[in-house]
Amino acid sequence: MYDGIVQDLIDEFGRLPGIGPKSAQRITFHILQTPSFDVARLAELLTDVRARVRFCDVCGNVSEQDRCSICRDPRRNPALICVVEDAKDVSAIERTREFRGLYHVLGGAISPIAGVGPDDLRIAQLMTRLADGTVQEVILATNPNLEGEATASYLSRLLTTMQITVSRLASGLPVGGDLEYADDVTLGRAFEGRRTL
Amino acid sequence: MYDGIVQDLIDEFGRLPGIGPKSAQRITFHILQTPSFDVARLAELLTDVRARVRFCDVCGNVSEQDRCSICRDPRRNPALICVVEDAKDVSAIERTREFRGLYHVLGGAISPIAGVGPDDLRIAQLMTRLADGTVQEVILATNPNLEGEATASYLSRLLTTMQITVSRLASGLPVGGDLEYADDVTLGRAFEGRRTL
């Protein structure tokens, strides 16, 4: 629809997740029409990120060094490991400021449909980390969906032989939510996991 | 939340229109985690687009040359000019394949609230194009909202002294839409502009 390179940039933005053709066009025109938008900086960051950012050797989180800032932090409790599917989940949990232990990023969840088995995840690396006996509790924070639950139950079975407490994040009503609008399964879980006051 | 450069890229994506912090994070991780994603190409396109793309000297559409591909096309009817607010509107109209004339991009619409007056738009350039008598009809295709209507009525008053037909795109029910869900103003316009069969 547009002259060569403009359409190329629209197509390239359209390849990014969550950006449809209309958004891609809007972004491209924003870049074209906003003189103050620093194109060079975005271009440089894109190249730099790919060149410099890697994944932490220990936990699999994103990092610019061999070990990520959380694994390097001596104030974090090494007896507590929170297992998550994705590096994005680390930052979601960090924002809560509830957790002061370490993380382990699996790099996905078990999904027979998508062809992802236990060997495709960083489970062997987790077992290695647990081998020396430092870790006392493993919190399974995989997503509360089919794949996440399957992964959590697989891991909990794997860890029963070890002297480690295995826990799972609570399921229930979202804070600020409305009981009326909760789905059946969530409401059921909220009953199941009810706490005595 | 993330180590330096990852957060920088998230922030930079977040500056683009329609991309919130969550989408920016999702895009950044997609780029980090998808080895097949051609980062170098996106970075190069960004720089190239800014360096090479400019606006057509005649109509104001995006172009890689002094005159855009539509203005250069000898098969287009030079007696017909369609006035639009934005270069994005040109491609929307081109997709309909209904119009074979030329365009004129105003670069916005008159909006006292946003401080945009007639002098901020490419209206003088339009008058210059109309001066030689080639153009027989001007189609005002500004948006059917407050600013667009104000711009259209300003232009139609400006053009009354000239021997040029001035028309406006029809307002009415969207094709495939439901009468029941149409808003009052649109439904009123549909009555007003009804056609005898």
Tens of pLDDT, residues B143-168: 988 999 999 999 999 998 888 999 99
User: Residue B140 belongs to a domain with what CATH number?
Assistant: 3.40.1360.10
Q: Is B127 helix (H, G, I), strand (E, B) or coil?
A: helix
* Cα B127 from Cα B56, distance rounded (Å): 16
B87 and B148 both lie in a single domain: yes
pLDDT value, residue B1:
66
A66 touches chain B (CB under 8 A): no
- Name the stretches of chain A with pLDDT < 70: 1, 3
Q: Do B5 and A49 touch (CB under 8 A)?
A: yes
What is the ipTM metric for this complex?
0.77
B94 and B161 both lie in a single domain: yes
Chain B CB contacts of A49 below 8 Å: 5-6, 9, 28, 31-32, 39
Range of the domain at A43: 4-52
In a domain, A181, yes or no: no
| Shortest distance, CA A172 to any CA of chain B (angstroms) | 23
B79 and B150 both lie in a single domain: yes
Number of domains in chain B: 2
State both tokens at B154: 């300003």
B106 and B33 both lie in a single domain: no
Q: Do A95 and B1 touch (CB under 8 A)?
A: yes
Q: Find the closest chain B residue to A65 by CA distance.
A: B3
A92 touches chain B (CB under 8 A): no
Percent with pLDDT over 70 in chain B? 99
User: Residue B37 belongs to a domain with what CATH number?
Assistant: 1.10.8.420
> Which residues 6+ apart lie within 8 Å of A2 measured at CB?
A10, B62, B91
How many contacts does A have with B, using Cβ atoms within 8 A?
137
pLDDT value, residue B139:
94
Question: Does the pLDDT value for residue B119 go beyond 70?
Answer: yes
> Which residues 6+ apart lie within 8 Å of B79 measured at CB?
B101, B134, B135, B136, B137
Q: Nearest Cα to A69, choosing from A46, A85, A48, A53?
A: A53
In a domain, A42, yes or no: yes
B81 and B164 both lie in a single domain: yes
Which of B42, B68, B88 is the closest to A46 by Cβ?
Answer: B42
B46 and B91 both lie in a single domain: no
B163 and B95 both lie in a single domain: yes
Beta strands at A54-55 and A62-63: parallel, antiparallel or unpaired:
antiparallel
A89 and A150 both lie in a single domain: yes
Q: Find the closest chain B residue to A63 by CA distance.
A: B3
B83 and B32 both lie in a single domain: no
B47 and B79 both lie in a single domain: no
B87 and B46 both lie in a single domain: no
A40 touches chain B (CB under 8 A): yes
A19 touches chain B (CB under 8 A): yes
Look up the pTM and report it: 0.75
The string over A139-173, giving b where at least 16 C-beta atoms fall within 10 Å of a residue's C-beta and e elsewhere, is bbbbbbeebbbbbbebbeeebeeeeeebebbeebe
Q: At what angle do helices A146-159 and A123-130 cross, to 10 degrees?
A: 40
Q: Nearest Cα to B82, choosing from B55, B103, B107?
A: B103
More confident residue, B35 or A15: A15
> Which residues 6+ apart lie within 8 Å of B54 measured at CB?
B62, B63, B64
* Cα B139 from Cα A138, distance rounded (Å): 68
